[in-house]
Structure 1
Amino acid sequence: MKSATPLLFLWLSLAAACKTEDIITSPKLISNNPLLSATDSAVNKAFLNYQSDLNTVGVSIGLYKNQKTSFYGYGESKLGSGIAPDKNTFFEIGSITKTFTSITAMNMLLEKGQTIENPIRPYLPTNLPTLARDGVEINFKHLMTHTSGLSYFPDNFGTGYYTGNVGEEFAKYDRNKLFTWLLNTPLRSKPFTTWEYSNGAMGLLGTLLELNYEKEYGSILKEKLLGPLQLTDTKTDMNETDMSRWSKGYSNGKEVAYWNSLNAMNGAGVIKSTASDMIKYGLANLNPPSTRLGDAITKTQQVTFLPFTEAGRIKINGRLGWFQCIHKDLPNEIFIWHNGGTGGYSSDMYINEARGSILVILYNTDKGTQAREDFTLALLRIISN
């Protein structure tokens, strides 16, 4: 979850590189790839090319191409189990949660006859100040595009941010702490002038949903998005999952604790899911249903903040919750993209609208490597041909 790009914090690990002193874990050559098709063989070749430096115990891959879905597992879901993760193995997906939060928020605005230009002020407690700078109030567009001027992380988060106990700090970061941050923090820039990835902004967006519906984040998501899209294995609470299907998360060669609750920051990264459900989610974004929710999905895919940010081998600009992503080695392909990471997991989701294809990659180890970037590029070539 650590990023090599200073602007991109924690869940947006675009090119997260391990330090030289970090332990690099090579997944074992255990797989459920059936090796029956050309796609099967291409995925297997890519894995073998980069296996030694992927730094993960296991990886679950979902591909949708030419109207066919394929799933592949390599390595182990738990170290020493001898069992590769499959399409139904649970992983924490970290910041991909932000796309779910944004779609649900867009759906809420459509319910109320509002737009992303509506200020967030009416949704907040009256004792909080109007969040503004240079005469511009924060609105929903600013939160969804990471242009609100809110810092990438609340400055009252706690010492766990520095000591590695981030999951514990999330569990303690309640609404009172979030509101205290908003009460005391100046905006870092005039809204919609500067892109700065903000977990705080997306955590706030999830809390605005809770304040509007007077329900907790997971219940809202289940009612408004997960249920209608039949994402039965996408959860916000581990207690609602089948624990026998969980992968174990690792960091620097050691098992780490699960992140069950992010409390007031749930909207930024609490979701747990499987490769199977993530492909279903990707398909709903490729072919939105003819409903208000489908309209919300379509609207979040619009490029809204035009300037590009370059990070390593990719450049991105802002859709609403999502990013438009162009890889320098695939300059003619445009992807709808988000990634994620928690204390022991990292993930990527790419949707190629023009090709009608989807790629999902779920790792049960947190820190990325150059080999992971190369592996991702190889898989992107597969879904783009």
Structure 2
Amino acid sequence: MSAEPAAPAREVAEGAEGTELAPLLDGAMARVRAPDVVVAVSRAGRRTYAAGGTAPPPTVPREELSFALGSLSKTFTVLLLADLVHTGALGLDDPLAAHLPGLPPRSGNARRITLRHLATHTSGLPRVPRDLVPGALLHPYANGYAGYSRHRLLAALATTRVRHAPGTRWHYSNFGLALLGPVLENATGTPFPELLDRRVLRPLALTSTTLGTDPGARRERAVGRRGDGRTPLPPTDMAAFAAAGGLLSTPGDLLGYAEAHLDPAGGEPAQALRDVQVPQLRRGVPHRRETHTLTWFQHAAAGGPVLFHAGATFGQQCFLGFHPATRTAVAAFATRHDRTCAVVSAGYTLLQDLARRPAQ
């Protein structure tokens, strides 16, 4: 058996608060084991980056690579949904069936699913369609999403039995978020990639964020690895699940995205940035309840809550969180996906540590 790769060393730290943050960044970096690691912090608009890894450095600085966001993409899709709600194009409590005409869902519960249920993982839909499960069990590193068409996605909805009455339980669902793609297209008559670019990416100046299918993407992509930290994996094609997990972004762009939530400017999608931070539900046993907004997980922290989301593909993981009370954001990336990678827990711990320190 090959030896476990060593934790990466911090190669860069830059920004007005670099000296103050250095010990915390070193601690976060030391926890993560991956070929490429980037940890980025924004404090009151001032940014600091740290990067390293067990692999030889790529041809560009690691903090300039384009990383796969996986499920963190969901926050962009729900922000787009909230923006379209604000413009009156659709409503959060519209029935899903109203935006997928000609596709009668199988059961009464399915007919009661609303767009809010899809966004908040309370639709009762399973994590993935049933026809994806056998392949995932037999071939865990094979990308079952590749080539999964919109027609197949909608056909799966028509034959899926809803697990419980919509709105009564929380159950994480890539399936439900993926359906927001065709819903938003039907409501506006605009393809999802164009709609996302026009109403979210361009207004927020996220020039290095794109769907993985975009042929115009020019950034060098980070290469994901298996759990051994060595075996490279191809980019993850999310096909019809693009709305649930298909975005790529850079550390700088992701900090800019978080900063927009911390301080929404005037114009679009300012109101949507506020709306997606409003708590929608709480779940769990009394002593370990979790609060969820329209798209973010929310936990208690010093001075006020932190909001966060994580993402993973077959070979990469990432984390983004922010603390409004101190105007702090943390983004973390790793080109490895297994339980020992620890990039999500490292990013979350760093965010909580920074929440306890007033920003200078």
Q: Normalising TM by the smaller chain, what interval?
A: 0.7 to 0.9
Q: 1:276 to 1:370 in 2, by over 3 A?
A: closer
Alignment pair present for 1:25 and 2:5: yes
Determine helix, strand or coil for the equivalent of 1:117: coil
**Matched AA of 2:12:** N
Residue 39 of structure 1: which of 20, 23, 30 is its match? 20
Residue 204 of structure 2: which of 220, 229, 243 is its match? 229
Q: What's 2:174 paired with? A: 199
2: CA distance, partners of 1:22 / 1:197:
35
1: CA distance, partners of 2:21 / 2:158:
53
**Following TM superposition, where does structure 1 have runs of at least 4 consecutive aligned residues deviating by more than 6 angstroms?**
none
Determine helix, strand or coil for the equivalent of 1:129: coil
1: CA distance, partners of 2:74 / 2:250:
17
Q: What's 2:297 paired with? A: 323
Alignment pair present for 1:61 and 2:42: no
Determine helix, strand or coil for the equivalent of 1:146: coil
Q: What's 1:257 paired with? A: 234
Q: 1:235 to 1:131 in 2, by over 3 A?
A: farther
2: CA distance, partners of 1:121 / 1:44:
47
1: CA distance, partners of 2:2 / 2:124:
33
1: CA distance, partners of 2:126 / 2:59:
41
State whether residues 34 and 341 of structure 2, in contact with CA within 8 Å, keep that contact through their aligned partners in structure 1.
no
Q: Over residues 176-230 of structure 1, what are the superposed CA-to-partner deviations in whole Å (9 max), with x where a residue is unaligned?
A: 2111211111110111110000000000112211222333322111111101111
2: CA distance, partners of 1:226 / 1:310:
38
CA drift at 1:289 = 2.6
Q: 1:230 to 1:34 in 2, by over 3 A?
A: closer
Residue 89 of structure 1: which of 44, 53, 65 is its match? 65
CA drift at 1:83 = 6.7
Paired residue total: 352
State whether residues 358 and 383 of structure 1, in contact with CA within 8 Å, keep that contact through their aligned partners in structure 2.
no
Q: Which shows bigger deviation, 112-121 or 365-374? A: 365-374
**Identical positions, percent:** 22
State whether residues 27 and 55 of structure 1, in contact with CA within 8 Å, keep that contact through their aligned partners in structure 2.
yes
Determine helix, strand or coil for the equivalent of 1:304: strand
Q: 1:336 to 1:296 in 2, by over 3 A?
A: same
**Matched AA of 1:367:** D
RMSD: 2.8
2: CA distance, partners of 1:315 / 1:365:
30
Q: 1:334 to 1:30 in 2, by over 3 A?
A: closer
Alignment pair present for 1:380 and 2:352: yes
Q: What's 1:276 paired with? A: 252
Q: What's 1:144 paired with? A: 119
After superposition, where does 1:82-231 map in structure 2 within 5 Å? 85-112=61-88, 114-129=90-105, 132-133=108-109, 137-157=112-132, 159-164=134-139, 168-231=143-206
2: CA distance, partners of 1:249 / 1:270:
14
CA drift at 1:27 = 4.0
Q: 1:332 to 1:255 in 2, by over 3 A?
A: same
Determine helix, strand or coil for the equivalent of 1:251: coil
**Matched AA of 1:346:** Q
Residue 369 of structure 1: which of 337, 340, 345 is its match? 340
The normalised TM-score by structure 1 is 0.82
Q: 1:200 to 1:166 in 2, by over 3 A?
A: farther
The normalised TM-score by structure 2 is 0.88
Q: 1:96 to 1:137 in 2, by over 3 A?
A: same
**Matched AA of 2:137:** Y
CA drift at 1:128 = 2.3
Q: What's 1:16 paired with? A: none
| Greater relative contact order structure (CA < 8 Å, 6+ sep) | 1
Determine helix, strand or coil for the equivalent of 2:243: helix
